[in-house]
């Protein structure tokens, strides 16, 4: 049995997304012994080509699934009521589209309602049209995102809470509920973003396409955490896989994609890197692949 925790994204986006489908996947994932289910955030599907992943990324038509995405927090609150054990993750919430006090309270509420099962995966967003619609300048990314994380950390701390920053101010006040945890991981891609996560002593979640960049990011993350006085090995590292676990082997698959045997070998490689959690965002109905993930879970 692999020591790495395994999870799956809920079918919460696209024309086929439905409460029934979301609940079915969550309940079955818990029944077969998986560790987590995940939601994600997208505000819109622009009708013009977009730079995927942010400025400098490949320009292409936005995926059709972007047009309908169930809100991640409400989705997980619904799933929390339909399950009892499985962890509930966001990969990722775009923090800058909400004020720190609003987002921190929503996440704390979800964590309390679920009995401390939340994994709060948080990012800063990348689509220009979403920033425009949210009324937030893209220049808020970077330093503003770091301040947002620090403000939420203050809100989750002891009362009275107060925060005075360049972008966010919180007058001294009692603010609750406080979360049971939650486990906080930050999505990052660039070296500077990965360094920021380590310096702040938070967990790291990466989308894996190739082993080389992941190894480099984990090393950068741990070096930054160590330099800031944190214990690097105590900070969680998680991987999101955009691909499928398949019944039959795949020729030269990307990492953590292919048959259970192929994925099991990659999970050993991930474990050696100190990865503690891997979760899949399948291209198809997750119900078809849950038995294969369960096979990995109990192998």
Domain that holds residue 141: 5-298
Q: What tens digit of pLDDT does each residue of 187-197 get? A: 999 999 999 99
Sequence-ordered list of residues with C-beta below 8 angstroms from that of 146, at least 6 positions apart, any chain: 196, 200
Q: Which tokens sit at 218?
A: 């984990």
pLDDT band at 102 (very low <50, low <70, confident <90, very high): very high
pLDDT tens sequence across 142-172: 999 999 999 999 999 999 999 999 999 999 9
Q: How confident is the model at residue 89 (pLDDT cuts 50, 70, 90)?
A: very high
pLDDT of 206: 98
Residue 8 and residue 256: Cα distance in Å, rounded?
13
Is it true that the peptide bond before 201 is cis, omega within 30 degrees of 0? no
Task: Let me know: does 109 contact 180? Beta carbons within 8 Å.
Answer: no
Structure tokens that stand for 113 in this block: 């309602």
Q: What is the pTM of this model?
A: 0.96
299 pLDDT more than 70: no
Upper half-sphere CA count for residue 13 (Cβ side, 13 Å): 21
CATH number of residue 74's parent domain = 3.20.20.30
What's the confidence (pLDDT) of residue 1? 55
Total structural domains within the chain: 1
């Amino acid at each position: 049995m692999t020591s790495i925790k395994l999870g799956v994204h809920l079918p919460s986006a696209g024309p086929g997304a439905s409460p029934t489908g979301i609940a079915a996947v969550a309940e079955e994932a818990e029944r077969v012994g998986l560790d987590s289910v995940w939601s994600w955030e997208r505000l819109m599907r622009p009708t013009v080509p977009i730079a995927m992943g942010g400025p400098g990324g490949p320009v292409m038509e936005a995926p059709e699934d972007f047009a309908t995405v169930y809100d991640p927090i409400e989705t997980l609150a619904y799933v929390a009521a339909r399950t009892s054990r499985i962890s509930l993750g966001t990969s990722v919430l775009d923090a800058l589209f909400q004020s720190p006090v609003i987002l921190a309270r929503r996440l704390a509420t979800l964590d309390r309602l679920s009995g401390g099962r939340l994994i709060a995966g948080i990012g800063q967003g990348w689509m220009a049209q979403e920033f425009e619609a949210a009324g937030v300048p893209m220049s808020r990314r970077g330093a503003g995102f770091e301040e947002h994380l620090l403000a939420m950390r203050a809100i989750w701390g002891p009362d009275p809470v107060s925060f005075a920053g360049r972008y966010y101010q919180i007058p001294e006040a009692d603010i609750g509920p406080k979360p049971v945890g939650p486990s906080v991981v930050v999505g990052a891609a660039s070296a500077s973003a990965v360094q920021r996560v380590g310096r702040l002593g938070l967990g790291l979640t990466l989308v894996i396409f190739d082993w080389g960049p992941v190894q480099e990011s984990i090393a950068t993350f741990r070096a930054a955490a160590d330099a800031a006085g944190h214990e690097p090995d105590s900070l969680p590292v998680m991987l999101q896989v955009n691909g499928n676990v398949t019944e039959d082997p795949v020729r030269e698959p990307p990492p953590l994609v292919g048959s259970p045997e192929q994925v099991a070998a990659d999970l050993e490689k991930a474990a050696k890197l100190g990865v503690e959690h891997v979760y899949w965002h399948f291209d198809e109905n997750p119900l078809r692949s849950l038995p294969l993930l369960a096979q990995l879970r109990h192998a």
